[in-house]
Structure 1
Amino acid sequence: MPTVESSPAQGAVDLISNLRQLHGQFAAREQKVADFVAAHLEDISSMTIAELAGACGVSTPTVVRFCRTMGCDGFRDFKLRLAQNLAVSLQYLAPSQRDAQEGSVNAVDQVLGALYATVNVMRQQLDPERLDAAVQAVATAGQIVVAGVGGGSTMVAQEAASRLFRLGIPAVAVSDSYLLQMRAATLGKGDVLLLVSTSGEAGEIVSAAGVAGGYGATVIAITRPDSRLAQEATVVIEADLPEDPDILKPTASRYAHLVIVDALAMSVAQLRNEATTENLRRIRASLTAYHGRTGPQPLGD
């Protein structure tokens, strides 16, 4: 049987996947190490190389060869990378404590339950004065750039820009990190950079906040309190939201962020009532001319 002794795994980003993919391809003695590691993932970080070799019945050079086959520089590097893997992987490896009842109807109930719980937490955290400050800045903005990175934040940012342009305020959503830095640099006094970040730690978001703020723009952040982004923002709408431990449930925090965006847009619309009404009338007229329907309908949703 061919072995991978002289052909290390490419990279060592996911050692757990490497263990599975290379099972049966290691040299015989290295396979003993691989089998022991796979069965004792959580114990390896506290073992010395001599202890691991003794537990596997092999020599310490064999353990070193195994580590290199796995794409690591040596045993110390292997232990560090495995510990990093486990820090984020255990919840996916352990049996999940999910509701015993399955089915699409129960899934709807579970999603709604998470939505209600998260939005209720957000409602208790919301500071009316900060929301009012954000409304005033958006209502008088010359232009607005809305940004988020990652799946949920990107979707919320796109929705926010879609809401705001209908009110007659130039608004654009950005998710590309380089374009975000460029857009931030074009903003100035009277403009708004609206940032959505669950963690508040994404480097490109924090950097853009610093750039826009440095040129005098108002930086509004929907994010976790005391985060790096919160420290850079002019106005912080705090949302420190729990996530469900069930890894198969969708992230519920995006619902709370959408509620904040809708409340922000509605308040701005009410503040700019005359201009907003005329803008919405024009949009409705253009859509009617386009598809011919005149009954009640969403404005481009």
Structure 2
Amino acid sequence: MFTNEIIASFNELEMSLYNYIVQNSEKVAYMRIRELADETHVSTATILRFCRKLNCEGFSEFKVKLKISLKENKKTTIKSSHHSIVEFFERTLKGDLEEKIKMAASLVTKADNVIFIGIGSSGILAEYGARYFSSLGKFSMYIKDPHFPIHSKLMLNSVTIVLSVSGENNFTVTHLHQLKQKGSKIISITNTKLSTIAKTSDINIPYYVTEEFIEEANITTQVPVIYILESMAREIYKPN
């Protein structure tokens, strides 16, 4: 139902709508258009444009096709890693990713202190990012405790790099606000620029890949995050 060509044609609002539908297909198949608009915070006009991109005359026809698709795909299918990587490069590298990486690297270069935060798999990558940056000469730390004591003077010329797939994790949002209030500049790496964390940041680097779930587990690829982190670190590094 959702081909690579169709998904690649989605704008940010349509991508947000698509991610919601993928995660709530069984529910969406029986919703009214106004209910879906309220749940996804988009207009009914956006939903109708979305349906037309799927060659549906309206929302009713879309729901019929969605129900058929659900019956045909009872078994969960995990995309290959190759598919995820190609998706990332096709959607993101055509945009301003490299420019955003350079902007973020410039901000980090001027900072005295760099802090990484994240939770779950994003937390593991935050720890990796801190180590990778430190290996290339920009000492960084990873903090997973939002109550970790940090002297306010250390935050005056600091940068916090926030990692989050959804950009909505309450733990990370709370942590981000605490660091921002202490004067730290915020760089976020999220799957979409429409999230709370993205909107709260001074610089957001979105990577736009389709989120994937197995039951309650988010198994969305983290390859784009590694690419962005390593590109930033290499941009910052200047040989003597």
Deviation at residue 187 of structure 1 after TM alignment:
4.4
1:87-106 equivalence runs, <5 A: 95-96=74-75, 98=77
- 1:147 equivalent to 2:117? Answer yes
Conserved in 2, the CA contact under 8 Å of 1:161 and 1:172? Answer: yes
Distance verdict in 2 for CA 1:161–1:97, change over 3 Å: closer
User: Following the alignment from structure 2 to structure 1, what is the Cα–Cα distance between the partners of residues 132 and 116?
Assistant: 11
2:188/2:205 contact within 8 Å kept: yes
Deviations 1:232-253 (A, max 9, x none): 1111112232134777x98343
> Following the alignment from structure 1 to structure 2, what is the Cα–Cα distance between the partners of residues 246 and 156?
20
Q: TM-score, normalised by structure 2?
A: 0.60
Write 1 or 2 for the structure with the bigger share of strand.
Answer: 2
For residue 242 of structure 1, what is the aligned residue in structure 2?
Answer: 210
Match of 2:133 in 1: 164
Q: Identity of aligned pairs, percent?
A: 17
Q: 1:177–1:189: structure 2 CA closer, same or farther, 3 Å change rule?
A: closer
Deviations 1:134-153 (A, max 9, x none): 111111221111011012x1
The correspondence for 2:142, drawn from 170, 173, 191, is 173
The alignment's C-alpha RMSD in Å is 3.2
Cross-structure match for 2:65: none
Tell me the amino acid that sits aligned with residue 256 of structure 1.
P
Distance 1:196 1:235, change over 3 A: same
Q: How does 1:50-89 map to 2 (within 5 A)?
A: none
Distance 1:183 1:123 in 2: 37
Structure 2 gap ranges (5+):
1-26, 28-69
User: Is residue 273 of structure 1 aligned with residue 239 of structure 2?
Assistant: yes
Distance 1:97 1:188, change over 3 A: closer
CA distance in 1, matches of 2:175, 2:239: 31
Mark the structure with the bigger radius of gyration: 1
1:213, distance to aligned residue in structure 2 (A): 2.1
Count of aligned pairs between the two proteins: 170
Match of 1:114 among 77, 81, 84: 84
Aligned to 1:220: 187
Matched, 1:202 2:172: no
CA separation of 1:115 and 1:188: change in aligned 2, threshold 3 A:
same
Task: Measure the CA separation in 1 of the matches of 2:219 and 2:97.
Answer: 23
Given the alignment of the two structures, is residue 135 of structure 1 paired with residue 114 of structure 2, yes or no? no
Q: Within the alignment, does 1:231 sit opposite 2:199 as a pair? A: yes
Q: Of 151, 155, 158, which aligns to 1:188?
A: 155
Q: 2-side partners of 1:119 and 1:250: how far apart?
A: 21
Code of the residue aligned with 2:74 in structure 1: it is P
Assess if the C-alpha contact under 8 Å between 2:104 and 2:203 holds in 1: yes
Distance in structure 2 (CA, Å) of the matches to 1:162 and 1:230: 23
Q: Secondary structure at the match of 1:273?
A: coil
**Higher RCO, Cα 8 Å, sep 6+:** 2
Alpha-carbon contact 2:185-2:202 (below 8 Å) kept: yes
How far, CA to CA, are the matches of 1:208 and 1:186 in structure 2? 18
Q: Structure 1 stretches of 5 or more lacking a match? A: 1-41, 43-90, 100-106, 275-301
